[in-house]
A and B are shown apart, each in its own frame.
Chain A
Amino acid sequence: MSSRRERLLQAMVRVVGEKGYKATSVADVIAEADTSRTTFYKHFTDKHDCFLAAYDMLVEQVFEEVVANCDGAQPWMERVTNGLARIVELFALDPALARTAIVEVAAAGADARQRHWNAVARFTEFLDGGRELAAGRELPENISLMSAGAVSGLIFDELLAGRAERLPALLPDLLFAMLVPYVGPSAATEEMRKAAALTVGR
């Protein structure tokens, strides 16, 4: 991938995260990427085309970070906890990325929303290992969707309120939301308290 194309994609993520998808223009993206209109239209047909490519890039970046932060040999609970912690950290460090990923994608049309949903489905694949913890219990088939919905709802609220920097402080609650469908409120509360102790200690 040429560096100019990547600069345009990164610029799209930043500008949309700051201004919103609807208010973002191709001129804004070109200015942010410090490149030319000719270069933009060499790579993309229009704003929407560029946004979809930027979203795909963003999703890959986030998942790469999550996978890099998780050791496949760890028990499921540690793995998903570390994965969620990394997502929260990324979002807090880059609020524009977070808003683009979670909030603004909804404004970019049905195909963008489908990409967001596909990303949520990938996250739920991470979570499906939790079914083993419920050995002997019948869990609904779409339990991972409930878990992902609970987590993304809380994150969405904070981003809508412009409080991306508060997400790490919310990590204990997010962990509870993610784990409770699998392990129940007592065990999820225990994990939440452990995470809260770590958060205070930082």
Chain B
Amino acid sequence: MAPAAGAPPPAAGGDRALPAGAAAGGDDPRRRGQGLRGDDGRRPDQGGGDLRTTFYELFADKEACFLAAYDNVVDVLVRRIGAAYEAEESWPERARAGLAELLAALAEEPALARLALVDVGAAGPAAQRRYRAAVQRLTPLFEEGRDFAPGGRELPANTSRMAIGGVAGLLSDELVAGRAAELPGLLPDVLFATLNPYVGPAAAAREVAKETS
């Protein structure tokens, strides 16, 4: 992954650079504008400073920086998805809005999308646990399907994780093939993958046709 604008040079070892958002220091990125990087595109202040020194003032090592960047990306993503979700009424409409926002955000930043969904497995156990924690944060958005679906209370406890796994499978397939720009076009399929475990394929297909026409 090419270094992002304003990012510090890669840490010792010459490995991948990380998104600018977490490494820029300064004010809390969560108060800034849009985008998965959590920044507003400004370069960090480089006047007279040694970026490598700054890096090690902020992070113990490369892994700590990666995890901070990962947390930053997840925070922004979860907030964007949550806001889109809350703006709608019925669960299928909320799912569609949240998923559309997820796909748009990932398509905007293909390198970060790969990092979050595909490469995280290579980043060690701490990163893998972060990934699972991120999935946990999105679980309530899927769990609402249990109230929506007839017989929803009878479904397995893991149903939300199954739905999320189905969605992740579709997204990973596109990302591994380098087709991040086509993610928004997956909306009907990821919506089907979300609704289906709760309402079954026939009802899911009807809702998808209604929500994506």
Contacts and interface: CB of A to CB of B under 8 A. Distances in A.
B165 A152 contact: yes
A106 B122 contact: yes
Nearest to B123: A107
B158 A173 contact: yes
B201 A153 contact: no
A137 interface: yes
Contacts of B128: 103, 160
Contacts of B166: 146-147, 149-150, 153, 177, 181
Contact of B197 (A22, A140, A150): A150
Contacts of A173: 156-158, 162
Q: Name the prevailing secondary structure of the B interface residues.
A: helix
Contacts of A157: 132, 161
A113 interface: yes
A103 B163 CA distance: 20
A139 to B, nearest CB: 6
Interface in B146-167: 149, 151, 154-159, 161-167
A138 B162 contact: no
Interface string A88-107: 00000000000000010111
B192 interface: yes
A45 interface: no
B128 to A, nearest CB: 6
16 contacts: A113-B121, A113-B176, A143-B192, A149-B167, A149-B168, A150-B165, A150-B193, A160-B129, A173-B158, A180-B197, A180-B200, A181-B166, A181-B196, A184-B196, A184-B200, A192-B156
Given A149-B166, A151-B165, A142 B189 contact: yes
A177 B158 CA distance: 9
B155 A185 contact: yes
A140 B118 contact: no
B199 interface: yes
Contact of A189 (B125, B155, B172): B155
A22 B11 CA distance: 18
B212 to A, nearest CB: 12
B87 interface: no
Interface residues of A, number: 44
A150 B163 contact: yes
A117 B154 CA distance: 33
B26 interface: no
A183 B169 CA distance: 19
Contacts of B125: 20, 160
A77 interface: no
A139 B192 CA distance: 9
Contacts of B161: 153-154, 157
Given A22-B124, A150-B165, A137 B170 contact: no
A185 B151 contact: yes
